[in-house]
Amino acid sequence: MLSYESSLQALADPTRRTIFELVRSRPRSVAELAANVTVSRPAVSQHLGVLERARLVRHRKRGTRHVYHPDPAGLAPLREYVESLWDDVLTAFAAAGDEDGGNGDARDEE
């Protein structure tokens, strides 16, 4: 699996995105994260596993607590991918025009 795929799929889930937003603003423990979302603590732990596999977060053991903090390693490929899409789509869009529903002249071009 390409690197930006896992990041894309990880951030697609709303709960997981909320957790990542919390970790992004400030490093937090699992219990602190679970207190700020509607799901249980094991669910948060599973989401953190997905985020960590996607290289979006890392964790550091602080005694019995696992403190999670963001990691740019997984976000960088996603950022590059979106940027490449952005450039190509702008070019393709400018070449095609911006009208959509109108079916004025029907020329066959294939």
Partner DNA sequence: ATGATTCGTAAGACAGCACTAACGGTTAGC
Partner DNA sequence: GCTAACCGTTAGTGCTGTCTTACGAATCAT
Q: Spell out a b/e string for 1-35, using b for 16 or more CB atoms within 10 Å of the CB, else e.
A: eebbebbeebbeeeebebbbebbeeebbebebbbe
95 to each of 29, 49, 54, 68, 107, how far by Cα in Å? 50, 43, 36, 45, 16
Pick what 15 binds: its own copies, DNA, none; C-beta below 5 to 8 Å, kind-dependent: DNA
Pick what 3 binds: DNA, its own copies, none; C-beta below 5 to 8 Å, kind-dependent: none
Q: How far is the CB of 81 from its own copies (least distance, A)?
A: 9
Please say which residue, 1 or 94, places its beta carbon nearer to DNA.
1
Q: How far is the CB of 40 from its own copies (least distance, A)?
A: 22
Pick the closest to residue 44 from 69, 62, 18, 63 (CA basis).
Answer: 18
47-106: contacts with DNA (CB under 7 A): 47-50, 59, 61, 63-66, 106
Please say which residue, 25 or 94, places its beta carbon nearer to DNA.
25
Count of residues touching its own copies (by CB under 8 A) = 42
